[in-house]
Each structure stands twice: as structure tokens, then as C-alpha cells.
Amino acid sequence: MSTSHTPSKLKPTRLLAALFGSGVLFALPAQAMNGAQLGGYGIKNAGMGGASIALPLDASAAVNNPAGMAFVPQSFAINVIVFNGQSTANTPAIPGLVGAQTFEDNTTVSAPEGGANWVISPTLTAGISLSAAGAGVDFGKPLLPFPGLTNVQASQKVAEIIPSITWKVQPNLALGMSVNFATQQLNSQGLVAITPMGFPAQLPAHGTQTASGTGARLGVLWQTNPELSLGATYKFKTNMGQLGDYAKDILAYSDGKIDLPSEYGVGLAWKAAPALTVAADYLMIEYGDVKANQNPSGQGWKNQQVLRLGAAWELDTNWTLRGGISTNTRQIESDRAAQNITSPAVSNLAITAGATFKLDNASDLSFSLEGNPTTTLDGTGSSAGYSITGNRVTVVRFGYQRSF
């Protein structure tokens, strides 16, 4: 790993302070690919369908596998994510109260992403990465067309700052550990419950409530030979604090908390030809182990399996092109469609593309694009008549990376 490049005029420490202290830290997706999570983290890996556990490509690597930072040069990366999501929710008629309704959401937001990595010695590195997640809607009208009811708006947003450290047991084998410093925001208004008498009653709006928590990640990355790398990672469940007065109503079952799920995954990267690299991941996100998702009358998210496949082609000495695909098992079951109209994370297929242009020996510019085709979840059982459609989700990233 070379560290002899001329330092950037923008000091990495100053850049990171601006990145992590930014007010747009919580401008997160309204409908993500894998439940509340983006389809991929790190601009280059995102262009490969999110495949990343055995293929660290920049200082965002700790989000995917902390051991990957051992194979990232001393460098920083700063990316901007621009997210656009459209969704539609249909609700059935309530006899004697209101007819069938349609609710639409169209959200465009932006958020930062990136990190930095320092090579301490040939066997040790230390770094810091940023991760973001979220779900929610803003329908712009009440759930029921009655006087006094407010417009429906709901969002759950999470940002994680992830310091990491790695140790190369051997030149081709690294262990990594990171700590997740998570901050979470919840804002919900306009939700309506039907009273035992059969009349609608609007739940109180508690405004934006914030909680924090700390968790950890472990990882291993083994470059078995110059052509093949294998990786594995585990993220422990992050126990979050109480989200204020939401503990009195919508989060009463989980004592006012929404913990961040544990997850684990394995991946491989294969250099199939001098200019071609192929990578694949299997990831399990354990939403079902979070108490808030075990509420019998709540959203009821289940564990979610994710498969990611991508390829990178070095077109010439300056350009690298990328493409990929990602799919998952939907975490929302059809009989919970009614409870999930304000968190319409139903996308289960993503197609991605990306490119990197090398500016010089120390820096590059990258771009990635993710598109999620339209998909619909039709309610069954107690949710019959409800449906959620993810009409279109597009995620665009622009990024800059520099060694120092």
C-alpha cells in the first residue's frame, strides 16, 4: 500500500468533520431497497449491485465488512447520494365512513456518504465510515377526509458513524472490528386508530424524537490467491434509546425503542480476467429479531435475505465500468400491508451501473446509478383491499476519492 502521494489541499480530518457534522445527515431515503437500507454502500460497490463483502473499493468499506479496510489505501472518499422514490398506497372503503382512497408520495432527498482510512503500519489500519438508512412517506393529506385530521407524514431515519480497526494476521488475511455510533430520528403525524366504538381517532403527534445507541461489527477477509477473495461479516443488534413520547402509543409494545437489526453475510470476489472482476454477496438482515417488529398489531417486518451480484471492467488505464443486480425476500408479508402504508419499502429488485474516471495516480471521480422497477404488494387476510406500490426508485451517487 503506497502512502507517498502528495497530500490533498483539503485535509482529510477537516473533510470528515464537514461530512459527519452536516445538517443533511438525516436527509435519508423514504423507501430503500432492503427494508430501511440502501441497496449498497460505497459508490463503487453500489454500482456493482452492492456486492462488497469480499471486495473493498474505498473508505466506505467498514459499512460492508470492517476487515475490508485492511486492503484500502490511506485515503478518503466523499460521495453525495441523491434519492428519488415514488410510491402509491390504496386503502379500502370503511362502510359508513369513507370510500376507497389512494395516497401518493414522491420524495427527492440527498445525503452524504464516505469515510477515511489511515495505514498505521503494514499490519494495522484505522478508519471511519458513514452509513445511512431510513423509511417513510409524506402523503400530503389526511388518512381520512374528516375535519381536524392532519396530513399523514412519517419517517424513521438512522445515521451511523463507524470507526474501525483492522489487523493483517498474514499479508493476505485480515480481521476487522468496528463500533457503530448510531443516531435515530422518528417523526410521525396524522396516524389514525379506530376506537372500540368504531370511530376514528387521530393519534397524538410527538414531533421529531431522537435516540442513540452503540453496536459493533466484526469481519474477516481472505485473499486466497491473486484471483479469489472470500469475506464474512457480522453486525450485532444495536440497542437504541427511547424515542420520547412515542413510547406511550405507537411504540408502547417495544418500550419506545426501535433497535437496529443484526445482520450477517458472506461474499466472494473473483478476478475472472486481467480486466474483469466479478463479485457476489449473500446477506441476512434480521428485522424479525427486533422487538418493535414483533408487535402483533405493528408492521411485522420479517428477516430478509439479500443476494447481490456485480462486475467491474477496466476499460483502459483511466476508465472502469461497473454493473450489477440485487434481489431480496420481501420483509413485509401480505397480511401486514395495512400496517405498512407509511413505510412502503417493497422493492425487491435493483439494477445498477457505475463508472470511475482516474484523474491521476492519487485521485478519481465515480458515478453510480440504481433503478428499482415497479413492484406491488397486495394485502391479504386482515389487509385485504390494501395495496402498496413502489412505482419507481432511483438512487444516483457522485463521489471523489483521494489517497494521501
Q: Given pLDDT bands bounded at 50, 70 and 90, which one contains residue 127? A: very high
List pLDDT tens digits, range 259-289: 999 999 999 999 999 999 999 999 999 999 9
pLDDT at 173: 98
The rounded distance, in Å, linking the Cα atoms of 162 and 177 is 10
In 3D space, the residue among 82, 28, 90 whose CA is nearest the CA of residue 391 turns out to be 90
- Give pLDDT tens digits for 168-191: 999 999 999 999 999 999 998 888
Look-up of cell digits 457534522: 21
Q: Which residue has the higher pLDDT, 36 or 314?
A: 314
| Other C-beta atoms lying within 10 Å of the C-beta of residue 228 | 14
| pLDDT band of 29, cuts 50, 70, 90 | very low
pLDDT at 244 over 90: yes
**pLDDT at residue number 136:** 80
pLDDT of 24 higher than 80: no
**Residue range 231-243, pLDDT digits in tens:** 999 999 999 999 9
The band of 194, judged by pLDDT with boundaries at 50, 70 and 90, is low
**Averaged pLDDT for residues 333-346:** 89
Residue 21 has which C-alpha cell? 457534522
Question: What pLDDT was estimated at residue 95?
Answer: 81
Which pLDDT band, with edges at 50, 70 and 90, does 6 fall under? very low
CA atoms within 13 A on the CB side of 82: 7
Give the per-residue pLDDT at 198: 62
Residue 3 reports pLDDT greater than 80? no
Lowest mean pLDDT: which of 25-34, 147-156, 370-379? Answer: 25-34
Q: How far apart are CA 130 and CA 115, in angstroms?
A: 6
Q: Which of 152-166, 217-231, 261-275 has the lowest mean pLDDT?
A: 152-166
Q: Specify the pLDDT at position 8.
A: 36
Beta-bridged to residue 230, according to DSSP, are 222, 268
pLDDT at 181: 96
**Torsion 372-376-379-385 (CA) sign:** positive
pLDDT for the residue 15: 36
Distances (CA, A) of 343 to 179, 288, 331: 28, 16, 11
Q: What pLDDT sits at residue 276?
A: 98
Query: What are the beta bridge partners of residue 303?
Result: none
Question: How many whole angstroms separate alpha carbon 371 and alpha carbon 368?
Answer: 10
CB 363 within 8 A of CB 401: yes
CA distance 404 to 402: 6
Q: What is the pLDDT of residue 22?
A: 33
pLDDT of residue 137: 86
**pLDDT attached to residue 32:** 64
pLDDT tens for each residue of 43-56: 999 999 999 999 99
What is the Cα–Cα distance from 376 to 344, expressed in whole angstroms? 10
With 0-12 / 13-18 / 19 or more C-beta atoms within 10 angstroms meaning exposed / middle / buried, residue 94 is middle
Cell 460497490 found at: 45
Mention every residue, 6+ apart, whose C-beta is less than 8 A from residue 369: 47, 352, 353, 354, 394, 395, 396, 397
